[in-house]
Amino acid sequence: MELRKDYFADVRKDGLHEIGQPRPRLDSPGHVTGKTAYFADRNFPGMLHLKMVRSPHHHARIRSIDTSEAEKHPGVVRVLTARDVPHNVYTILILIQIGPEDETVLADGKVRWKGEAVVAVLAETERAAQEAAAKVKVDYEVLPAVFDMEEAVKPGAPLVNEYHGQNYYLYDSGECRKVRFGDVEAGFAQADHILEQSYQSSPIEHAPTETTGCVVAPEGNDRFTCYTNTQAMFFTLDNTSIILQMPGSKLHFVGGTVGGGFGGKVDVIVEPIAILGAKLTGRPVSFVYSREEEMQISSPRAAEKVVIKDGVMRDGRIVARKVTGYTDAGAYSRHSPYGAQKGAAHYPGPYTIPNVWIDTYCVYTNRTPSSAMRGFGVTIGDFALEVQMDKLARLIGMDPLEFRFVNAYRDGDMKAHRQPTEGAALIECMQEASRAANWPVAEKYMAMSSYRKGA
Amino acid sequence: MAKVPVEFTLNGLETAEFVESGTTLLNALRDKIGDTSPKGGCHQGTCGACSVIIDGELRLSCLTLAETCGGADIKTTAGLAEGGVLHPLQRAFLDAFATQCGFCTPGMIMAAKVLLDRTPNPSREDVVEALSGNICRCTGYEPIIQAVLTAARANSQNAA
């Protein structure tokens, strides 16, 4: 590794003792000896196994649920349906006042995506739970489903989620998150060229090697210890407290050791129902996703569609940018309203553009609910933006790296969402990239600075 | 369901357990015997996190029935350090930053151990081939490959 200390040398206090020095990871000794305790490494006598009965339909009304055969299956201890859950309708971000509550812990009257949890079976063995789950009879009336975001927002599309009332998230700003900066139409009128392009992505599964799950032990004093691989300990604790109508003091969460997360373990899915099972049976409960469930049931990164219209001058300056972004939340919000909102702030990219118009929609479809994954809300946007930047450079016959120097944001520049730029380092990164990749740019760009006036 | 007695040697210790017929070695080790160093990532033989060594061969314990292991000599990552001293592979993984979430690590170390036992001075290609059945979703493959090569060099220096 090479530390280039010449960048920012005049504005940096050079008291670095740790940066650039190798340091052992504190958790590595446990990993190499096999002693690190993941949640599934906890085993308790008499532990029950929880398996879910899941919807085979993308969208259906539930006419009836018959659990009688499942309850008679040898080894079954308890079968749970929606009416066993004290506060069955929830949404994760209610903790930061982002509602409405729109998702059921166990389906109540309706399923909105293929794979949705309907009935939970608790049995002495995994096998007995699996066999009994297959004996639960659910009578469905299949409803028309919608899978495409642009179809979903058209009038007359099947309504995915009644808690919203329309197939998009209603922000306080209306049907989408909006950024308005300068006069975008005047910018387009002034531009030498206009380029409008559309970019799309599919859902992406995190595929952690350790599947989602938890092990719950009743402590005998009305308190429950939950060993979990959640990436969001306190969100999970607080949401569990709401769902089970149980004070947080009764819940002891043990975690922080995650066998790969990548954002895929920030939803509150397995813990509330496992703790409820432990409470109602008085026995330890293990609820672990199979590999198939991890791939099909756990939230993926949202599918996105990004439409970018740019106005650019022959000298390289982008003078107007209009972006319409669509985030496919699937059937429920989870973290997607937040992801779509992040996109709104992000779409100008690390570039200074005087006229900007952005609308980002969080759309509901009958697809697997999506949620967090590594930079969600901006990652697909960055793919779209940087491909667009290359296309714009080609359009005006400019070197793509030089084109980015022309538009790079610098300290003091006002961003479209009205945060002044501070601590920018894009120019310096590109200068070093130009050297490292042997992609030379004109000397005037190598003399630029993110922070020095006049440079 | 009738239980089946199984006896084998686990990391040098005689071990006996009653298991239900059809129980995998992975579940027997983890849930019955208490060695949780093999991990269950897929339970279908594709991720390699459950890898153990049976009679010198690398095996997927999630696809091995416990009842077929009578009399076998089984080794896991939990038994690799001797007298509290880390095995050169463990040392190398530690020093080379070859662990991230750690979930694949015990399986990776088992696969690497079988390689080094047979091929003390492996080429890079040998290492890549030996680890090809083990998935690291954190994608830290390069440090893992380097760690195995470093351990091999440490071994040959000790032998010289």
Question: Hey, what are A178's tokens?
Answer: 């909006």
The rounded radius of gyration (Å) of the Cα atoms in chain B is: 16
Whether residue A157 lies inside any domain: the answer is: no
pLDDT at A231 exceeding the cut of 80: yes
Q: Please, which residues bridge with residue A79 across strands?
A: A121
B53 within 8 A of B74, measured Cβ to Cβ: yes
Name the closest residue on chain B to residue A292, using Cα atoms: B42
Is there a domain that residue A392 lies in?
yes
Q: Please give the single-letter amino acid code of residue B159.
A: A
Q: Are A377 and A338 in contact (CB under 8 A)?
A: yes
User: What residues pair up with A171 in beta bridges, in sequence order?
Assistant: A174
Q: How confident is the model at residue A15 (pLDDT cuts 50, 70, 90)?
A: confident
Q: Which of B36, B24, B109 is nearest to A38 (CA)?
A: B36
Helix axes A379-396, A336-346, angle to 10 degrees: 30
What pLDDT is attached to residue A187? 98
Q: Are residues A412 and A314 in the same domain?
A: yes
Q: Is A266 exposed, middle or buried (0-12, 13-18, 19+ CB in 10 A)?
A: buried
Contact A291 B136 (CB under 8 A): no
| Architecture field, domain B3-79 | Roll (3.10)
Residue among A422, A420, A418, A419 at smallest CA distance from A181: A418
Helices (H), A104-193: 126-133, 149-152, 184-190
Give the domain-ending residue among A276, A296, A316: A296
- Shared-domain flag, residues A411 and A321: yes
The whole-model pTM stands at: 0.95
Is the fold of B3-79 the same as that of B88-159?
no
pLDDT digits (tens, 9 = 90+) for A53-106: 999 999 999 999 999 999 999 999 999 999 999 999 999 999 999 999 999 999
Percent of chain A scoring above 70 in pLDDT: 100
Choose the closest CB to A34 out of B76, B135, B137. B76
Q: Taking the domains of chain B in order of start, what are their residue ranges?
A: 3-79, 88-159
- b vs e for B108-140, b when ≥16 Cβ sit within 10 Å of the residue's Cβ? bbbbbbbbbeeeeebeeebbeebbebbbbbbeb
Phi, psi values for residue A246, rounded to 5°: -130, 130
Query: And the tokens for B132?
Result: 């090809």
CATH class, B88-159 region:
mainly alpha
Q: Could you give the 3-state DSSP secondary structure of residue A231?
A: coil
Whole-angstrom Cα Rg for chain A: 26
- Across A1-17, average pLDDT: 80
What's the token pair of residue A275?
A: 């703790």
Give the residue from B148, B102, B93 showing the smallest Cα distance to A27: B102
Whether chain A has a CB inside 8 Å of the CB on B45: the answer is no
DSSP A36: -
Which residues from B are below 8 Å from A208, CB to CB?
101, 103, 137
Whether residues A34 and B36 touch (CB distance < 8 A) is answered with yes
Is the pLDDT at B143 greater than 70, yes or no? Answer: yes
- Confidence check on the interface: ipTM exceeds 0.90, yes or no: yes
Give mean pLDDT, residues A159-174. Answer: 97
- Nearest-angstrom CA–CA distance, A253 and A257: 12
C-alpha A59/C-alpha B113 separation (Å) is 50
> Could you give the CA distance from residue A90 to residue A81 in angstroms, rounded to a whole number?
16
CA distance B5 to B78: 23
- Whether A155 maps to a domain, the answer reads no
B94 touches chain A (CB under 8 A): yes
CB contact under 8 Å between A208 and B97, yes or no, is no
Q: Taking 70 as the threshold, does the pLDDT of residue B160 lie above it?
A: no
**Minimal Cβ distance to B31: which of A35, A43, A262:** A43
Q: Tokens in use for A30?
A: 């446990």
Per residue, the 3-state secondary structure of A257-281, as one string, reads CCCCCCCCCCCCCHHHHHHHHHHHH
Residue A330, pLDDT > 80, answer: yes
CB contact under 8 A, B86 and A32: yes
Per-residue pLDDT tens digits for A242-256: 999 999 999 999 999
Over residues A259-280, the pLDDT tens digits come to 999 999 999 999 999 999 999 9
Same domain, A289 and A386: no
Nearest-Cα residue of chain B relative to residue A29: B94
Put simply, whether A36 touches B (Cβ < 8 Å) is yes
CA B143 – CA B137 distance, rounded (Å): 14
- Residues of chain B found within 8 Å of residue A259, distances taken between Cβ atoms: 39, 41, 101-103
Would you call B11 an interface residue with chain A, using a CB distance cutoff of 8 Å? no
Residue A452's pLDDT is 86
Which residues fall within 8 angstroms of residue A431, CB to CB, at 6 or more apart? A7, A445, A446, A448
CA dist list (Å): A320 to A184, A310, B117: 5, 6, 64
Structural domain of residue A227, as residue ranges?
Answer: 46-143+207-296
Which chain B residue has its CA at the smallest distance from A294's CA? B42
pLDDT score, position A236: 97
Please report residues of B whose CB lies closer than 8 A to that of A30: 102
Tell whether B42 is within 8 A of chain A (Cβ): yes
pLDDT score of A148 more than 70: yes
Which of A25, A207, A290 lies closest to B137 in CB terms?
A207
**One domain, residues A193 and A269:** no
Task: Write the CATH number for A190.
Answer: 3.30.365.10
Bridge partners (DSSP) of residue A119 are A53
And the tokens for A306?
């990004």
A211: contact with B, CB 8 A cutoff: yes
In the sheet with A193-201, reading across from the earlier edge strand, the strands are A177-181, A356-364, A318-330, A304-312, A193-201
Q: What is the mean pLDDT of residues B77-104?
A: 95
Are A284 and A306 within one domain? no
Whether B39 has its CB under 8 Å from any CB of chain A: the answer is yes
Query: What is the number of structural domains in chain A?
Result: 2
Which of A135, A137, A139, A138 has the alpha carbon at shortest distance from A75? A135
Residues A234 and A126 in one domain: yes
Q: How far is CA A139 from CA A66, A111, A136, A159, in A?
A: 8, 12, 10, 21
The answer as to whether A9 is a domain residue is no
Nearest CA in chain B to A47: B31
- How many other β-carbons are positioned within 10 Å of the β-carbon of residue A89? 15
Give the separation between CA A278 and CA A99, rounded to whole angstroms.
29
Q: Does residue A455 sit within a domain? A: no
CA distance A36 to A147: 42
- Give me the residues of B, 141-160, that contact A with CB < 8 A: none
Whether residues A222 and A327 share a domain: the answer is: no
State the pLDDT confidence band at A207, using cuts at 50, 70 and 90. very high
State whether A130 and A222 are in the same domain.
yes
- What DSSP character marks residue B18? E
Looking at every residue in chain B, the average pLDDT score rounds to 96
- Put simply, the chain A residues between 235 and 294 with a CB less than 8 A from any chain B CB are 258-262, 290-291
Mean pLDDT, residues B95-113: 97
For residue A55, tell me if it sits in a domain.
yes
pLDDT at A144: 98
Contact A63, A104 (CB under 8 A): no
CB contacts, 8 Å: B94 with chain A? 24, 28-29, 32
Of A205, A195, A312, the C-alpha closest to A261 is A205
* Parallel, antiparallel or unpaired: strands B3-10 and B73-75: parallel
User: Would residue A81 count as lying in a domain?
Assistant: yes
Are A32 and B90 in contact (CB < 8 Å)? yes
pLDDT band (50, 70, 90) for residue A1: low
